[in-house]
Structure 1
Amino acid sequence: MTSTTTAAPVDADAALKQKHRTMWAAGHYDRVADEIIPVLGERVVASLGIAPGERVLDIAAGNGNASVPAARAGARVVASDLTPELLEIGRAQHPDLDIDWAVADAEALPWPDATYDVVLSTVGVMFAPHHQVAADEMVRVLRPGGRFGLASWTPDGFIGRVFATMKQFVPPPPAGVQPPPLWGSEAHVRELLGDRVEGLTFETAYVDVDAFGGPSDFRTYFRENYGPTLVAYRGLADQPERAAELDAALDELAAGFRDAAGRMRWEYVLVSGRRR
């Protein structure tokens, strides 16, 4: 399998990772995970049939969206994330659960080959900047015959469209960095994983969201709580006209995804399989 990405120079890569840490520490991603998408982690864990005693790694775990239900299923869970602030929130929220909260880069996991029975990620690993590197690491730490499960926003679903909209208002990413919603594309994931895995399944599903009274309520919530949106607006702090354009673009997008009752459906793909 041939990678389509080019690794960034070490110094540039370190700066990029620090930028990612800062972005996800901004706002309150734990609120998004707990208030809007708690069902995602539960669905990933249920799809994998996680059993007591299994060794489970949650990559880009945040405050434990999937780690918590995996631990409640009796697994021995490591919740890893690049952003220590999110791990600290998860630890404080769930002191009763036996979860190892570990700072780790999805592109350089600090565990030996074949350490885990199950590797999973809930809209997490998709945000690692170099997709092939992250996929390689995920497979490397999974034992032969071990299972993996990923929930990723799709390019054409609502969150994928949010990122496409914000792209017009933020600086271009460094060379080699790929858009996160590509992890919601079956062809892309198959290329990343190649013949190292088997039994791949792809299920398109939805999170039903009724938390916002109107389109502007979504925009306000994400501007205050969701790191990528918050950082996009910070970059427009001295460009009020451009910020107003982003307001209008996000409001129009959100309005188009609301049904008559005001409910939104956020599309994601659930991917599962086994390491050969």
Structure 2
Amino acid sequence: MSESLVAKEADRALKAKHRAVWASGDYAAVAADVIPDLGAVLVRASGVHSGQRVLDVGAGTGNAAIPAALTGADVVASDLTPELFDAGRRLAAKRGAELAWQAADAEALPFGDAEFDAVLSCLGVMFAPHHQAGADELVRVCKPGGTIGLLSWTPDSFIGRMFAAMKPYAPAPPPGAQPPPLWGDEAHVRELLGGRVTDVVAQRDTVRVDHFDSPEAFRDYFKANYGPTIAVYKAISGDEDGAAKGAALDAALADLARQFGVGGDRFAMDWEYLLLTAHRRA
């Protein structure tokens, strides 16, 4: 088998693994319970409006695609994991939003060049393993003068720190794969997009997460519902010392949540994200 075919097979296997991770658990619940308004934040910042053709990359269950459609825009929600679409369609119907849903790899989007007025990704493209390939596709399918809008967890955010806490327990990533929270580093994203964009506006902000009664409640919820966390626990469950590793990871995740607690009568955390918009250079 040629090197190119070997590489294609390896990529296909990697994407199948990613799809399985995000299909596990209940991401629809996570999006609705934990970050219900983040998609709308990105839509507003990107200036999405009626008459535009909009692509949401890594749309999941439509956290950004649905509010974009509610502006009157013609929206396509794309994701590597079409298992999430049924929940997204139910949410869209409940809110009265009409949009299209299409399975798509963020690193090889099945759309034409310069097809969309706005290309968005809310906590989506950041999980594609090859960052430059994902960024190249965002730019390619955006019209000259069109908007690229990205919302990503920062490396120092709670989620960034959570991935760092899980790393010692997770299988080693394949060669060339990059950590998702790098998309929350402004310098990294600017380098990915390069001179192909202009009018870059980047700001850090936080979302208040107050769905959980305690750090332990957060941990148990993510163990049951969030694909990447489920995958790590599954990976260590078969180890000879899996029980000890599981207990250590239990403690690490609860401790991390406790560190991010902001005090008050109810347990809450502030999770930081980078919101970046740009225009594709004409």
Quote the residue 2:179 is aligned against: 179
- Residue identity opposite 1:12 in structure 2: A
Aligned partner of 1:54 among 35, 43, 52: 52
Shift of 1:124: 0.5
The equivalent position to 2:258 in structure 1, one of 255, 266, 274, is 255
2:278 is the counterpart of 1:273: yes
Is 2:232 the partner of 1:232?
yes
**For residue 265 of structure 1, what is the amino acid of its counterpart?**
D
Alpha-carbon shift at residue 92 of structure 1 (Å) = 2.5
The reply on whether 1:242 has 2:245 as its aligned counterpart is yes
Give the C-alpha shift of residue 53 in structure 1. 1.1
1:51-79 superposed Cα distances (whole Å, 9 cap, x missing partner): 11100000000000000100000000000
Gaps of 5+ in 2: 1-5
| Deviation of 1:139 (Å) | 0.1
Q: CA RMSD in A?
A: 0.9
Query: Partner of 1:4 in structure 2?
Result: none
d(CA) in 2 for partners of 1:241, 1:82: 34
Which one of 41, 48, 55 corresponds to residue 43 of structure 1? 41
Q: Match of 2:61, SS?
A: coil
Deviation string 1:205-230 (CA, Å, 9 cap, x unpaired) is 11101111111111001001100001
Most deviating of 82-91 and 113-122: 82-91
Q: Report sequence identity in percent.
A: 55
- Listed as ranges, the matches of 1:154-173 within 5 Å are 154-173=154-173
After the TM superposition, which of the residue ranges 98-107 and 87-96 deviates more from structure 2?
87-96
Give the equivalent residue in structure 2 for 1:80: 78
Separation in 1 of the partners of 2:263 and 2:85?
A: 38
AA of the residue aligned to 2:122? T
Q: Which amino acid aligns with 1:152?
A: S
Deviations 1:126-184 (A, max 9, x none): 00010000000000000000001110000001000000000010111000000000000
Letter of the structure 2 residue corresponding to residue 189 of structure 1: V
Q: CA separation in 1, counterparts of 2:197 and 2:260?
A: 35
SS at match of 1:101: strand
Deviation string 1:4-47 (CA, Å, 9 cap, x unpaired) is xxxx8111100000000000000001111111101110100011
1:97 positional shift: 2.2
Deviation at 1:88, TM superposition (A): 2.0
TM-score by length of 1: 0.96
- Are 2:14 and 1:16 equivalent residues in the alignment? yes
Work out the CA distance in 1 between the residues paired with 2:269 and 2:258.
9
| Separation (CA, whole Å) in 1 of partners of 2:33 and 2:252 | 24
Residue 3 of structure 2: aligned partner: none
User: Runs of at least 4 residues of structure 1 off by over 6 A?
Assistant: none
Q: Structure 2: how far apart are the matches of 1:94 and 1:176? A: 36
